[in-house]
Structures are given as structure tokens and as C-alpha cells.
Amino acid sequence: MANAFTKHIPNTVTCFNLFSGCIACVMAFEAKYEWAMLFIVLSAIFDFFDGMLARLLHAPSAIGKEFDSLADDISFGLAPALIVFSFLKEPSLCYPAFLSGDIRNYIPYFAFVIAVFSALRLAKFNVDERQTSSFIGLPTPANTLFWGSLIVGGHSFLLEHIGVLPLLLLICLSSWIMVSEVPMFSLKFKSLGWKENKTTYIFLLGCIPLFIFLRISGFAAIIVWYIILSLFTRKSK
């Protein structure tokens, strides 16, 4: 049992998650994408350790579970939405000719669909007892890493060659897959054997060239690789 001191440690770490997420939101709103990404990564680190510490210190609590989700909705829901919002507001982003100036002013707000579906994903995770050793739908930190690394690493390419319509479609797709019934494998190791962890080892091996050749954008490619491999392993079962 946790004592009067240790029982507060996991929630304190969650506070750091939320604090980092709030700073990430400010950086994203100011279009300081690299700084936003940095604080999102810090949030992810704190998010990993709060759950681990709760288990190690035998200090899980109902309020800790809810607090963790509330913090995650800022760090991995609002923060990525603000990154996309700021990017869609950039004047050099390519728009098709049929979209008038008035419509263009409202399009960036579509980015907040990410925040809405992230909240739905987190609420679904809290009540879904199937997601103890694997995931159903794309986890919010993975979606956040996708958007942050895509915009930080592919900023110029997105502005010059992609344009707004594919990005809007991508927002819809990533939002849907978070709340979908698509099974996603977990990266947790219960042993080091190949047979028990074949999918995880294949995933990690595939990540190496993506990161080497694409650098920061490689993280976005890694999330796509994760989704594809999850779909493939699902069909092969």
C-alpha cells in the first residue's frame, strides 16, 4: 500500500504532463512548431511514467485515472489541433481556386476536429475493458506524434506541394482511426522471445530506415507503418 507521501507521486507527474501540454498549446498557437513538439514529447514522457509509478508504488486511484485522461486531452488532443490550426492559417498554404477568401478564413478551425475525436478516444479507452494489453483504435499520443512530426519535418513540402484539401482529408482519417474498431498491437514486452514479440520486432526493424532517411518526418512515417502493420497482422489472424 502507498503511504501518505508516495500516493501523490503519480498525480504529481500527471501535473507535469498537463503543464507541458499547456505550454505546447501556447507554442503551437504562436506557430513555434519545434517548441510545441518538444513539450509534447515531454508530456508523453510524463504520461508514460505516471502510470508506471502508480503500478510500482501500488498507488492507483480512480481520480488518477480521470486526471490522466484530462491531462492527455490537452497534451494529445488540443496541442496537436492547435499545431494544425496554426499551419492551416499560414498564408503561403496552397488553396484550390474554388475556395473563396471568406471560406478560407474558416477552414483552419476544422483542425479542432482532432481535439474532439481525441476526447472521444480517451473516454472510450477509459470504459473499454478490451484495451488492457493492446489498443482498439489509434492512441492519442501516436496521433499527436504523427501531426507534430509531419508539420515540423515536412513544413515546406506541405506548403508547396500538398495544399489544404489533402490535409483536411487527413484530419478526417486520423480522427476516425482514433475511435475506430481497428485493433492496434502494443509495444509492451512480456518476454524477449521472437515468437511472442514477432510483430513488435518487425515494427522496430522497419522504424530504423524511416528515421534514418526521413529524420523528424520519419516519426510520422513510423505511425503510418504502425497502422499498416496493425491492419496486416489483424487480417493474417
How far apart CA 213 and CA 124 sit, in angstroms, is 36
What is residue 5's predicted lDDT score, i.e. its pLDDT? 67
How far apart CA 11 and CA 54 sit, in angstroms, is 9
What is residue 26's predicted lDDT score, i.e. its pLDDT? 98
How far apart CA 190 and CA 34 sit, in angstroms, is 34
What is residue 3's predicted lDDT score, i.e. its pLDDT? 63
How far apart CA 118 and CA 44 sit, in angstroms, is 15
- Indicate the residue type of 43: S
- Indicate the residue type of 130: R
- Indicate the residue type of 192: L
How far apart CA 41 and CA 31 sit, in angstroms, is 17
Sequential DSSP letters for 179-192? HS--EE-----S-S
Q: Quick one: 6-185 is in which CATH superfamily? A: CDP-alcohol phosphotransferase transmembrane (TM) domain (1.20.120.1760)
* Residue 71: closest CA among 33, 91, 103, 42: 42
What is residue 20's predicted lDDT score, i.e. its pLDDT? 97
DSSP 193: -
Q: What percent of the chain has pLDDT over 70?
A: 92
- Domains of the chain, by residue range, sit at 6-185
- Indicate the residue type of 2: A
User: CA gyration radius for the chain?
Assistant: 19
How far apart CA 99 and CA 17 sit, in angstroms, is 39
What is residue 94's predicted lDDT score, i.e. its pLDDT? 87
CB 210 within 8 A of CB 218: yes
What is residue 169's predicted lDDT score, i.e. its pLDDT? 97
- What residues in the chain have per-residue pLDDT under 50? none
What is residue 235's predicted lDDT score, i.e. its pLDDT? 56
What is residue 71's predicted lDDT score, i.e. its pLDDT? 95
